[in-house]
Amino acid sequence: MNKLSSPVCALFWNTLWAGMGLLSMHTAMAQNSATTATAAPVRQADFIVAVVNSEPITNREVHVLRQRLANEASARGGNRPTDAELTRTAVEQLINEKAQLQLARETGIKIENEAVEQAELNVASSNQLSREDMHKRLAQEGISVSAFREQLRTQLTLTRLREREIEGRVRIGELEVEQFLSEQLKAQAAQVPTQLNLGMVLIAVPDNSSESAINALGERAADVARRAQAGESFAELAKAFSQTPDRGANGGEMGLRPADRYPELFLEATRKLKAGEVAAPVRSAAGFHILKVLERQQVTTLLVTQTRARHILLRPTAQLSQAQAVAKLTEIRQAVVSGQADFAALAREMSQDGSAQQGGDLGWANPGMFVPEFEQVMNRLRPGQVAEPLVSRFGVHLIEVTDRRNAPMSDQEQRTLARSALREKKLDEAYASWVEDIRGRAYVEMREPPQ
């Protein structure tokens, strides 16, 4: 990412929450009015719009937040809210924020300078910028560094308050986990068809066969089916009797494939059969088919999309600046993409990471195994693609995705996924209830604009 979108703060907040691993429900928090007011391109007539427990909300604060909400709505696309709707939303967000900040002060929550420093570094890293470059971008948007840091402190305060107040309200029971997994498996089964491997013996019926000849061939097919049902080797019966083009050379096995790739006639005949069972003969235009279910694979575990990637990592030092590391990896990328250099060989030679000996190979990775800024870039790549150099909190990376697959999750992974998803849902619900409670306990006086 070489350029920050406008307004810069909107992108900063989104990447801040991702980089810090904060709850997704916090991404919609209102910005601190003192900070954002400095970024407002147009000065509005200022007056008090509302009072929250004796603390005022000004028209300028509402204007700045309304502009940000409008920009975010435009970026999402779809129908843009009306000015009246944006104003109502901005006022409500500011009321909620004021009430929560007051509660944080009353309960003694303080954010250490070190936490603000780390948050600032995370924002810069998530936007692939050095801290100095980020300060320059902020200045271009009319936002001072001190104001930006104060906004970070505000958001960290709100986050710490919400985590403290809400975390203890959420409990996940085993029954909830089981129900969640059952629902997910049903949903996945609807998207991932059953895998089926059938064995077949074909007793062909030539064109223009007489009725008596067809009956005789039907009897032969019924006899083969009875022998297979009695336990005779299906593969040997296929070799002896099947009139398929390969004459049953592979034991009649048709191969494991999605069930919907078999004729509906075959699926109907074997629908109720278990693996190892043989159906009665069924008739098609080609003749009589004796079918055996050799293997039936149904979705019994959740699948996760895994990515295999490799990377070259350069760590900035006094001798190698971040900009120089980016330039160096840009040259390497061009050489790799043009076929003039081998990625694995360069990784073994240059990468400052434990994966260097494996040519930068990071192995198969589940979602969430890498830091967000790395994973977001990796997930956008197709196998064989090499990304532009990426700046993370660990240094500068050159990433290539080599493969991607859907793999079954272990029981522990499934249960961890279920607990995480259920917890996130309950946190969202608890947060909404908590905001309502704080709002209800606050004294809020709405003011009419001056005439």
- Whether domain 193-297 has CATH 3.90.700.10: no
* Residue type present at position 445: E
Give SS3 for 196: strand
Which of 278, 271, 268 has the alpha carbon at shortest distance from 200?
A: 278
**What local confidence, expressed as pLDDT, does residue 4 receive?**
34
**What local confidence, expressed as pLDDT, does residue 393 receive?**
80
Pseudo-torsion of CA 341, 343, 345, 348, nearest 10°?
Answer: 140
Half-sphere exposure of 446 (CA within 13 A, CB side): 4
| pTM of the complete model | 0.56
Q: Please count the other Cβ atoms lying within 10 Å of the Cβ belonging to residue 233.
A: 12
- Give the DSSP per-residue string, 97-148: HHHHHHHHHHTT----HHHHHHHHHHHHHHTT--HHHHHHHHHHTT--HHHH
Q: Residue 300 class from Cβ within 10 Å (0-12 exposed, 13-18 middle, 19+ buried)?
A: exposed
Indicate where the chain has its CATH 1.10.4030.10 domain(s): 8-167
Indicate where the chain has its CATH 3.10.50.40 domain(s): 193-297, 303-408
Alpha-carbon span 276 to 279, nearest angstrom = 10
**What local confidence, expressed as pLDDT, does residue 25 receive?**
26
Token pair 């995370």: residue: 122
Question: What is the CA 317 to chain-centroid distance, rounded?
Answer: 33
List all residues 6 or more positions away from 281 whose beta carbon is below 8 Å from its beta carbon: 203, 218, 221, 222, 224, 225, 288, 289, 290
Give SS3 for 232: coil
The top-level CATH class assigned to 303-408 is alpha beta
- Strand ranges (DSSP E) for 7-125? 48-52, 55-58
Alpha-carbon span 370 to 221, nearest angstrom = 58
**What local confidence, expressed as pLDDT, does residue 436 receive?**
93
**What local confidence, expressed as pLDDT, does residue 437 receive?**
93
Q: Please tell me the CATH superfamily of domain 8-167, with its number.
A: Porin chaperone SurA, peptide-binding domain (1.10.4030.10)
**What local confidence, expressed as pLDDT, does residue 23 receive?**
29
Q: Please count the other Cβ atoms lying within 10 Å of the Cβ belonging to residue 91.
A: 20
Q: Residue 82 class from Cβ within 10 Å (0-12 exposed, 13-18 middle, 19+ buried)?
A: exposed
3-class SS letters over 343-387: HHHHHHHHCCCCCHHHCCEEEEECCCCCCHHHHHHHHHCCCCCEC
Give SS3 for 96: helix
**What local confidence, expressed as pLDDT, does residue 404 receive?**
95
Mean pLDDT (10-residue bins), the chain, 451 residues? 35 42 31 38 70 93 89 81 92 93 94 91 76 88 88 92 88 93 83 84 93 95 96 94 86 89 93 94 95 86 90 92 92 95 96 94 92 90 94 90 91 90 91 92 91 74
Residue 131's alpha-carbon distances to 117, 121, 417, in angstroms, are: 10, 6, 35
